[in-house]
Amino acid sequence: MASPYVTFNREQWRALRASTPLTISDEELSCLQGLNENISMTEVADIYLPLSRLLNLYVGGMQELYQATHTFLGNQDGKVPFIIGIAGSVAVGKSTTARILQTLLSRWPNHPKVDLVTTDGFLYPNRVLEERGIMKRKGFPESYDLRRFINFLADVKSGLPEVKAPVYSHLVYDIVPGEWQTVRQPDILIVEGLNVLQPPKGDEPRISEVIVSDFFDYSIYVHAEEKDILEWYVERFKLLRQTAFSDPNSYFRRYASLSDEEATEVATGIWTEINGANLVQNILPTRVRAQLILNKGQDHMVQSVKLRKL
């Protein structure tokens, strides 16, 4: 079967930036660096600027279509946000990709308001996970309140003036009761999480079932070799000892005093038992549904980009 994707190497992808002059100010550069001090600015220029140009063309196309409908109907309905889904493993770089795109996309005059929501807010609270005996399944499909997530997306897409998403804290490792993120009719909403391209539950998809990706206007999968992702996961875990784990409110206070060797062992154990298993069983199989795949190398640099032809 012919591949539905066109593959670009770095040079070919970088060249796609050329036809629209895109410049980035020093202020914006330092803002991006502030998101993640490890981001290389070459990477932003070569990979993420062309991607923001592609997305800008898609958003512009959709805005024109909505305008045509409004003209035809003679009404002035509320704005409908363009929704971008970003999928991939724990620690592959979804949040970093999402925040770079949020910053770059908000520079375009026709869609300045770009909001970002992470799907961890739709995890069940620990109390429910404990009741169901699935505390060690955080991030697996059954750990999310899918109905709530779908309702949230439906409300955003129907143009409601204000839609609230629950908030998850990595520090306390639980949903924060009474805390909400409010989405107010952005031009673009980026939705980032492990599960955003997941198919319907069960072996037999029901025809009437709505799935998360039905609400997406565009979808991106961030991919890397599992051995590299594990390395980034362990690295991040070790760094957290000096930051989040040392906080008195941290759920993982006991990890703050681990030696390098112990930290590597604990992180690798969590990876094998939870995040790696979830990657293989539930996340990687969804890659084929993405409209665009970013293939990252060991140094976090994108080596190739796959773009769906249709």
Ligand X SMILES: CC(C)(COP(=O)(O)O)[C@@H](O)C(=O)NCCC(=O)O
95 binding ligand ADP? (CB under 6 A): yes
Place of tokens 């549904």: 289
How far apart, in whole angstroms, are the C-alpha atoms of residue 222 and residue 92? 7
94 is an annotated ligand-binding site residue: yes
119 binds, among ligand X, ligand ADP, none (CB under 5 to 8 A by kind): ligand X
- Whole-number minimum distance, CB 307 to ligand ADP, in Å? 19
State which residue, 95 or 268, has the beta carbon closest to ligand ADP: 95
Q: Which does 39 bind (CB under 5 to 8 A by kind): ligand X, ligand ADP, none?
A: ligand ADP
CB of residue 238 to ligand X, shortest distance in Å: 13
182 three-state secondary structure: strand
Q: What does the DSSP 8-state code read for residue 162?
A: -
- Decide if 148 contacts 163 (C-beta within 8 A): no
Q: In whole angstroms, what is the distance from residue 118 CA to residue 94 CA?
A: 10
Min CB(168)–ligand X separation in Å: 6
- C-beta of residue 243 within 8 angstroms of C-beta of residue 236: no
Could you identify the residue written with the tokens 């925040």? 99
Is 169 known as a binding-site position? no
Query: Are 281 and 205 within 8 A, CB to CB?
Result: no
Shortest Å, Cβ 94 to ligand X: 7
Q: CA 292 to CA 101: how far, in whole Å? A: 14
Q: How far is the CB of 76 from ligand X (least distance, A)?
A: 36
**Positions 17 through 36 that interact with ligand ADP (CB under 6 A):** 36
Choosing among ligand X, ligand ADP, none, which partner's interface includes residue 236 (Cβ < 5 to 8 Å by kind)? ligand ADP
For position 38 contacting ligand ADP by CB under 6 A, the verdict is yes
By beta-carbon proximity to ligand X, the closer residue of 33 and 126 is: 126
What does 126 bind: ligand ADP, ligand X, none (CB cut-off 5 to 8 Å by kind)?
none
DSSP run (H or E) holding 130: helix 126-131
Q: Which two tokens stand for residue 59?
A: 């958003």
Binding site for ligand X (CB under 6 A): 90, 118-120, 138-139, 193-194, 270, 274-275
Strands (DSSP E) along the chain, which ranges? 5-9, 82-88, 114-118, 163-169, 174-183, 188-192, 218-223, 292-296, 302-308
Determine if 236 is a binding residue for ligand ADP (CB under 6 A). yes
Do 190 and 104 touch, CB atoms closer than 8 A?
no
Interacting residues with ligand ADP (CB under 6 A): 36, 38-39, 43, 88, 90-96, 232, 236, 300
Task: List binding-site positions for ATP.
Answer: 88-95
Task: List binding-site positions.
Answer: 88-95
